[in-house]
Chain A
């Protein structure tokens, strides 16, 4: 009892079990992204055995319809999904947050134009818009990424605008203006540094959501092109082999764990930055 409760005493309140699990899950997939070839004996594109073998010691997650090792393909899938997700979120934050900040700070016509653009974009179901854009750009993972940036930036624009509107009314901003600061300086030094927390939290959670959307696009054939080992297209292959359940199991678990991991970290960040839980 005492041995158990002793470390609990020193553990800060924001360091929760889900946060730790999330960090472990994400670390695992980041590791896979970097060193996937070292983690498995088989090449993800080679036909290494008979087709549709159930899991065995040789092939822990079995083989797919072309006789490729599912475990190897799953681990290599991280090398496609994670960089795409990171790139999409960074670009969406860069575009969305800057436009949102400008809308909130400048107000007037700039605000109207930017926010109506946001409204129009957000009025489409995200999947539908991503499909339409991806289809018009042609298949390929990076085209899907562009489609997802177009779908995702308005979320950050709204978030950032709301933050800027809130912070710009604070008294230290008025004090900065009264001490002769230029508008650019007021925005960059006295408003923006106080706006990032919710954007950071949201971006972390969205990493998982973007992976999910990318997999969905690949699932319907608009993302990765064969033979790329991408989780969405692997699940799509698995769906065609209904009785070979292992084909979809690997990528399915991969998506589940990485999305869960990012969500847990996002929640953890939220708790960490929330003054009430410290």
Chain B
């Protein structure tokens, strides 16, 4: 593309399981990038490879998985980097937020100690006292009231939403450049979801971090992402600016996802759903991976893998990209 290097760039990332990859690839060549102050949404069903891919990009792949391709953070290649160097990046330059705040905190350590530990892991000579002060500021940053008192409490004394705020505080403890949030709101109820998204949006604004938001809910991305990558069966099938994606979805899968968002202003028929389930690891259909579930699939889709069609900043990988042959919904 241009001469400038993006903050975080993934190129043709592949994650294979089993000896020699015989169990199949969970991630089959994902390419995406995110910049400072930008929110990239990654959307896909459970098992589409979105979490595995992002974890593998940070060297957190499951044991026995083989990662290939290229992951560049500020121009530095992460694939094949020694464990020690990766560890120094994680939690300092790259923060990570997990799905379930209920189980992501150590139940036998106070919240203050856990945040302080996250700080001191990357600032060896900082005193415990100074780290706890920093922890207090961080709790205030994510809008937790009474941070002084809260520091001394254990995770079970926090509500789900509050715990997720603590997780976010830990993730941004060392002023990261990049934050990867893996389904940060899935385990929370809807009103709390909105609050957590506001906290993230606020942090992105104030700290100018790049944010990768992994979710299975396209609706969450509508108000918060700048760009969206749609992942199906371990591949990016469509990538576009968020408004463009919603206005002109180029891939039938994206159209299905958009149609599946409940519309509260309409009272008519049943909610649309995409029939079938994603293919299992190592059992990909021939041709386009989406063809068995696609409403517009033709003969060619069953035999030939589709090419990526590019229109400006918008690309879609489908034989019939950008052609609304038959409306899905």
Enumerate chain A interface residues (CB-CB to B < 8 A).
107, 170-172, 174-182, 185, 189-190, 193-194
Contact A178 B58, beta carbon cutoff 8 Å: yes
Partner of B106, one of A107, A182, A190: A190
Given contacts A171-B98, A174-B60, A175-B167, is CB(A181)–CB(B106) below 8 Å? Answer: no
When the two chains form their complex, are residues A175 and B108 in contact, meaning their CB atoms are under 8 A apart? no
> Does B98 lie within 8 Å of A179, measured CB to CB?
no
B258 to chain A, nearest CB (A): 31
* Bound Cα distance A231, B131 (Å): 56
Q: Known pairs A171-B98, A175-B96, A178-B90. 9 more at Cβ < 8 A?
A: A171-B100, A178-B60, A179-B90, A179-B91, A180-B87, A180-B118, A180-B121, A181-B91, A181-B121
Considering the complex, give the chain B residue whose CB is closest to the CB of A196. Answer: B108
Which residue on A lies nearest to B180, using beta carbons?
Answer: A178
Let me know if B121 and A179 touch, CB within 8 A.
Answer: yes
Judge whether B121 and A174 touch: CB under 8 Å.
no
Complex alpha-carbon distance, A170 and B102, angstroms: 11
Residues in A whose Cβ lies below 8 Å from that of B90: 177-180
Q: In the assembly, what is the distance between CA of A107 and CA of B64, in Å?
A: 13
| Contact residues of A: prevailing secondary structure | helix
Nearest CB of chain A from residue B100's CB, rounded to whole Å: 6
B106:A178 contact, CB within 8 angstroms: no
Closest to B170 in A: A179
Closest 3 pairs between A and B when the two form their complex, measured CB to CB: A180-B91, A179-B91, A178-B96
CB distance from B56 to the nearest CB of A (A): 12
A180 in contact with B108 (CB, 8 Å): no
- B5 close to A (CB within 8 Å): no
**Which chain B residue has the least Cβ–Cβ distance from A107?**
B63
User: Closest CB-CB distance, B187 to chain A, in whole Å?
Assistant: 11
Q: Which residues of B contact A (CB under 8 A)?
A: 58, 60, 63, 87-92, 95-96, 98, 100, 103-109, 117-118, 121-122, 167, 170-171, 173
Using Cβ atoms and an 8 Å threshold, which residues of chain B touch A174?
Answer: 60, 98, 104
B105 touching A172, Cβ below 8 Å: yes
Cβ B109 vs Cβ A175 within 8 A? no
Closest to B105 in A: A172
Q: Contacts A179-B171, A180-B122; is A172 near B60 (CB within 8 Å)?
A: no
Q: Are A170 and B108 in contact (CB under 8 A)?
A: no
B107 CB contacts on chain A under 8 angstroms: 172, 194
Q: Given the interface contacts A189-B109, A189-B117, does A178 sit within 8 Å of B91 by beta carbon?
A: yes
**CB nearest to A194 among chain B residues:** B108
25 A–B contact pairs at CB < 8 A? Answer: A107-B63, A171-B100, A171-B103, A171-B104, A172-B103, A172-B104, A172-B106, A174-B60, A175-B105, A175-B167, A176-B106, A178-B58, A178-B98, A179-B90, A179-B95, A179-B121, A179-B170, A180-B87, A180-B89, A180-B118, A180-B121, A180-B122, A181-B91, A194-B106, A194-B108
Measured between beta carbons, the chain A residues less than 8 angstroms from B63 are: 107
- Shortest CB-to-CB span from B193 to chain A, Å, is 19
Q: Which residues on the B side are within 8 Å of A170 (C-beta)?
A: 103
Residues of A within 8 A of B91 (CB): 178-181
